[in-house]
Structure 1
Amino acid sequence: MPVDTASRADAGPTPSSSPDSSGSGAGATAREPLWDTLRWVAIALVVIGHSVEARTHDQLAYGLYLWIYAFHVPLFAFVSGIVLRSDEVTPSRGWVVVRQLVVPYVTFSVLWGLLRWWVEGGFVLNLASPYWHLWFLVALAVWRLSVPLFASVRWPVLWAVMLACTMGYFDGVGWQFDASRIFSFLPFFVLGWALARHGAIRPVLRVLRLPVVRVVSGVVLAGTLAVAIFTESFSRQHALRAWLQAQSNFADIGEAHWYGGLVRLGCIGLACLLVAAVVSVVPRVIPVVTAWGAVATMYVYMLHLVPIYVLRTRYDVLGNGTGWLPTIAIVGSALLLAAVTSILPVRWLTRTLVEPRLRWLRNVHE
């Protein structure tokens, strides 16, 4: 989700500020503000999802949670692939991975260990098991470094889908470095990269932004949300939450059957549909939101879970209350939290942690 500072004038995001990008799409010649808008919309959905997670005993919260998790990570991965600047792993590209992914991963892992020690007691630090949201930093590092491999073969998206659908059969693919999610969401990153590499982004956008397609997309999004809310018992019975989160292999989900790969393929298909719908309906430019999407989403991503964790774990606030009203109030509060962590003063105060410069570490003789 971080960004490549070399892509300031391209189709990708502006300076190192987004948890979902690294540069500009291949063949792009002009900055596309839609990706910035989508970035902030997606990060706001992340905050909402984490905020309502403690209320998934409630029908509305559970349905909203499933709906968000059906597409928000695929959307992040897809946009990350679109704005990737290069197929090559050069020293400069490697430095981007180190500064924007590896170092923040280690730093925030330690900070989370200290925070959990304060709230729960006992310091725990396991860099092989990313805590909560930090897994995406590992995933982006792996995805970026794997691009030359996919660039060297035919049908890279097909290979990525095959990996996603087959790796779940292996017991060793699971929590360690969140390998399960890295493989499961890989196809969306490769798809975005492949579309950008072959100059297909603009034709796809022209179709998705047609008025009739936007209307249909709105119906799809509203319809799937309604289905998620009103099929609660079915979703719980069939562990749909575990399938959409993709944190575990098929055996750990409790579905160590031959059709596990087909279920994951179905989840990928659903996510593709919803990602396309979101890309279709979200306005190209939303004042303030688009600007935040260009510079602030990394901050929102890395910072928002601190107050959520404290309120949820230490004070047991987010899970209280019955009915839909508390859930709606939490959604509103989550949007406010996303906005607060986007503003300049917060970014300025936390820049050293979120966007370390580390000039002393870089090899200047590349």
Structure 2
Amino acid sequence: MRDTYLDTSKAVLIFLVVLGHFLERMVGWNDPIAHTLLGTIYFVHMPAFIFISGLLFKDKNWLKNILFFISLYVPFQILFPAFDAIWSGNMQINRNLFERPYWILWYLLGMMVWTLLTHFLIKTKFAVWIALILALCVGLSPWNNYQYSVGRIFTFLPFFVIGAVYGKAIIQSIRSIRYAEWFGVLIFIGIFSLVYLSQINQFWLYGSLSYQQLKVSAFEGTLIRLGCMAVSSLGIFAIFAIVKQCQSRFLKLGINTLPVYLLHGFVVILISKYWKLESHILIELMICFGLSLLTCWILQQQSFDMLLRKMSLWLMKPVERLGLK
């Protein structure tokens, strides 16, 4: 039986993902208001989404799940650059196509690595601590953390591991706290204020670069990354607390988050190529909000989920014939 509370939470988070990408492509980070809204979204949406992914982690299916994400990652890593090239007119072939996951596809690569690492980490008593150390230490690496999304994968690893190890207990605690939604609202006001006052560099929120690439010392970088993770943890509490008031709404969207996540990228690319927003910032925000609602409503249809399942058969069908369960 599905958990409607989790489905509602996933629906809210996938909407924030789509909204964040429309804002980023069509408005950008330069305007202080847009920067504040984007920063608040980015502090919360992917850490919370990855936390839920960890919560739904089933160790008995770990290898099959990795293969499923490979089956989607490979074709979409070809389709997205091809689609972008068609509309941009740049038809140059990238020989290092799989060196960098295309834009949103880092999450699929992340799911492969998080699933693999968590399979082994949960067999230890220090899974969360190991994940946290890896998240902080990846910023110390001398290589480009953007390559193969290694920075993002390890920076967000603790949220997946915490979800896998303590997720159910955390959700149960949040749901039992009286007036938790009001604490959640206060936390969001605090995050919003922090981003507005600091105008934090968005690359800290992406988790994609090393401390050297971000031009800070190892000590300063470790503290900032730890601080960002703490703020994101508060944001996760806030989002789940506020969702308590949604009362099992938007379930269809929450059930079909994967097709919305993968396919909305095509919509954002296409619209942002041909529609340049040059209005008042509030009008631009409202347009992006409306486009996000429409995109989510269209892509939540079951037919798109069925399409992804069929796309995965090129790998999953041979795997099933081999008897992998």
Compute the TM-score of the two structures, normalised by the length of structure 2: 0.90
Give, in whole Å, the separation in 2 of the partners of 1:323 and 1:291.
31
| Contact 1:195 1:201 (8 Å CA) reproduced | yes
| Contact 1:58 1:322 (8 Å CA) reproduced | no
Q: Which residue of 1 aligns with 2:83?
A: 115
Q: Which residue of 2 aligns with 1:144?
A: 115
Q: Which residue of 1 aligns with 2:217?
A: 256
Q: Which residue of 2 aligns with 1:17?
A: none
1:157-176 to structure 2, matched below 5 A, reads 157-172=128-143, 174-176=145-147
| Contact 1:51 1:334 (8 Å CA) reproduced | yes
1:277-292 to structure 2, matched below 5 A, reads 277-283=238-244, 286=247, 289-292=250-253
Q: Which residue of 2 aligns with 1:78?
A: 51
Give, in whole Å, the separation in 2 of the partners of 1:33 and 1:356.
32
| Contact 1:60 1:327 (8 Å CA) reproduced | no
Q: Which residue of 2 aligns with 1:205?
A: 174
1:124-143 to structure 2, matched below 5 A, reads 124=94, 126-143=97-114
3-state SS of paired residue (1:70): helix
1:1-366 to structure 2, matched below 5 A, reads 9=1, 31-54=2-25, 55=27, 56-86=29-59, 92-99=61-68, 101-120=69-88, 121=90, 122-124=92-94, 126-172=97-143, 174-196=145-167, 200-201=169-170, 203-207=172-176, 209-211=177-179, 213-228=180-195, 230-231=196-197, 234-235=198-199, 239-283=200-244, 286=247, 289-294=250-255, 296-312=256-272, 314-315=273-274, 317-348=275-306, 351-353=309-311, 358-366=316-324
C-alpha displacement of 1:363 = 4.3
Give the % identical residues: 24
Structure 2 runs not aligned, ≥5 long = none
3-state SS of paired residue (1:282): helix
Give, in whole Å, the separation in 2 of the partners of 1:203 and 1:283.
11
| Contact 1:83 1:193 (8 Å CA) reproduced | yes
3-state SS of paired residue (1:154): coil
C-alpha displacement of 1:215 = 1.0
Q: Relative to 1, partners in 2 of residues 1:126 and 1:76: Cα closer, same or farther, differing over 3 Å?
A: same
| Contact 2:40 2:191 (8 Å CA) reproduced | yes
Compute the TM-score of the two structures, normalised by the length of structure 1: 0.80
Q: Relative to 1, partners in 2 of residues 1:205 and 1:257: Cα closer, same or farther, differing over 3 Å?
A: closer
Q: Which residue of 2 aligns with 1:23?
A: none
How far does the alpha carbon of each residue in 1:1-53 deviate from its partner, in whole angstroms, 9 at most, with x for none? Answer: xxxxxxxx4xxxxxxxxxxxxxxxxxxxxx42111111111111000000000
- What letter corresponds to residue 210 of structure 2 in structure 1? N
C-alpha displacement of 1:358 = 3.6
Give, in whole Å, the separation in 2 of the partners of 1:153 and 1:69.
31
Relative to total residues, which structure has the larger helix share, 1 or 2? Answer: 2
| Contact 1:34 1:284 (8 Å CA) reproduced | no
3-state SS of paired residue (1:64): helix
Give, in whole Å, the separation in 1 of the partners of 2:210 and 2:149.
10
Give, in whole Å, the separation in 2 of the partners of 1:217 and 1:182.
27
- What letter corresponds to residue 31 of structure 2 in structure 1? D
Give, in whole Å, the separation in 2 of the partners of 1:227 and 1:176.
30
Q: How many residues align?
A: 319
Structure 1 runs not aligned, ≥5 long = 1-8, 10-30
How far does the alpha carbon of each residue in 1:54-97 deviate from its partner, in whole angstroms, 9 at most, with x for none? Answer: 312222221111111001111011111111122x5xxx531222
Q: Relative to 1, partners in 2 of residues 1:356 and 1:329: Cα closer, same or farther, differing over 3 Å?
A: farther
C-alpha displacement of 1:148 = 2.9
| Contact 2:5 2:248 (8 Å CA) reproduced | no
- What letter corresponds to residue 215 of structure 2 in structure 1? G
Q: Relative to 1, partners in 2 of residues 1:278 and 1:41: Cα closer, same or farther, differing over 3 Å?
A: same
- What letter corresponds to residue 225 of structure 1 in structure 2? F
C-alpha displacement of 1:337 = 0.8
3-state SS of paired residue (1:360): helix
Q: Relative to 1, partners in 2 of residues 1:344 and 1:153: Cα closer, same or farther, differing over 3 Å?
A: closer
C-alpha displacement of 1:359 = 1.5
C-alpha displacement of 1:354 = 6.5
